[in-house]
Amino acid sequence: MAEYMVTIDGGTTRTRLCLWKGEELADTVRADVGARTCAVNGDTMIWKQTIRRMLTEILERNCVEETSIGAVVASGMLTCNLGICEVPHLTAPVRLKDYPRQMVRSTVPEVTEHEIFFVPGLKNHAGAPMRGDELRDFDIMRGEETEVFGLIRRYGTGQDTVFVLPGSHNKYIYVSADGVLCGCKTTLSGELIEAVTMNTILADSLEKRFMSAEEYDFSCLRRGYRDAMEEGLTRTLFLVRLQELFTETSGGGMRSYLLGAVLAGDVEFLKKSRLPDGNGDVRIIIAGSSPVCRAFYDLLTADGDFPHVELDADEAYPLAALGARYLYEQREEQ
């Protein structure tokens, strides 16, 4: 393998480019440009030009010639119809060992003269055309599948696993013990918390702020979780307002309560979801160091129905970059 490698992961609003030297992450550069930028401008050229500038910047900063790059791997929304090279989703189930060979090789001269390996996203199997009731089992992802390969590099296979990637959209990716990427499910939890916090009558109660690690209150989190399970989400949301008016609950407590109420839906979803081979020995790995990850871990461990829950807060390497590198290494070894 060449001394240097570049990985690029692009999302809806941001792009990250990483320069690897051997096994070590040498440098990273970011830009606030993504698929949404292309949608607004009606053109993908701005994304290509931005990545070109990012690449030039990181190479000059590290005194590396572009000819010294051995491989470039791109993932995420870079492969969607608003990206720099559209690549169709693979259809689950897909064997993990087959995924590296499914990367698409293409050149994008506006970015680099090097051939780029594009990691395809994944969609759940579904008939075509789909009926409304079949949508419950359908889902898609672009980028999260690459992050999962970063986690697989750390944890390996051999046990049915649900990888949880919290964010604006919480992603749940199922990998079976025999090394098959079975599919994914998505919830809108992150965006729901943002909408409630910023654009409802609760904006005043919550001070238009999200819960921080310093103010995290598990007792309030669990109370919000319990109330949502018993009273329903919409009633529980109004209880935030009543807490502000008639109790001495702190702002952090109310923000913790809201998070617990919203995450109750995700916990209920996990309980009812068709996990690989049932719930018994399924391992759940939550990736990230945000307060939401901590809260979700605490709720699942306190619930009692999930005996194998782990929190991976190691962010030394970006998961997408780690996964892209792992996929390329596996491809080279095959």
Per-residue pLDDT of the chain (334 residues; tens, 9 = 90+): 568 999 999 999 999 999 999 999 999 999 999 999 999 999 999 999 999 999 999 999 999 999 999 999 999 999 999 999 999 999 999 999 999 999 999 999 999 999 999 999 999 976 666 666 778 889 999 999 999 999 999 999 989 999 999 999 999 999 999 999 999 999 999 999 999 999 999 999 999 999 999 999 999 999 999 999 999 999 999 999 999 999 999 999 999 999 999 999 999 999 888 655 444 578 999 999 999 999 999 999 999 888 899 999 998 899 999 999 999 999 999 8
**What pLDDT is stored for residue 278 in this prediction?**
47
Two tokens, residue 166: 């919290």
Query: Looking at the structure, do residues 167 and 149 belong to the same domain, yes or no?
Result: no
Same domain? For 60 and 108 the reply is yes
Q: Please check whether residues 55 and 197 belong to one and the same domain.
A: no
Q: At what angle do helices 251-272 and 189-199 cross, to 10 degrees?
A: 150
C-alpha to C-alpha distances, 279 to 37, 65, 176, 312, nearest whole angstrom: 41, 51, 12, 20
In a domain, 166, yes or no: yes
CATH of the domain at 205: 3.30.420.310
Which residue bears the tokens 């590290």?
A: 62
pTM score of the predicted model: 0.94
Its domain, for residue 53, covers 4-156+318-333
Question: d(Cα 183, Cα 144) in Å, to the nearest integer?
Answer: 11
Residues 166 and 152 grouped into a single domain? no
Q: Is residue 313 part of a domain?
A: no
Residue at 143 is within a domain: yes
How many structural domains are present in the chain? 2
> Strands 69-76, 112-118: parallel, antiparallel or unpaired by DSSP?
parallel
Q: What is the pLDDT of residue 126?
A: 66
- Give me the pLDDT at residue 43, please: 92
CA 92 to chain centre: 18
Residues 18 and 142 in one domain: yes
Do 289 and 188 fall within a single domain? yes
In contact, 110 and 49? CB cutoff 8 Å: yes
Q: What is the DSSP letter of 212?
A: P
CATH assignment of the domain containing 325:
3.30.420.300
Q: Do 152 and 206 share a structural domain? A: no
- In a domain? residue 102: yes
Let me know whether 76 and 193 are in one domain. Answer: no
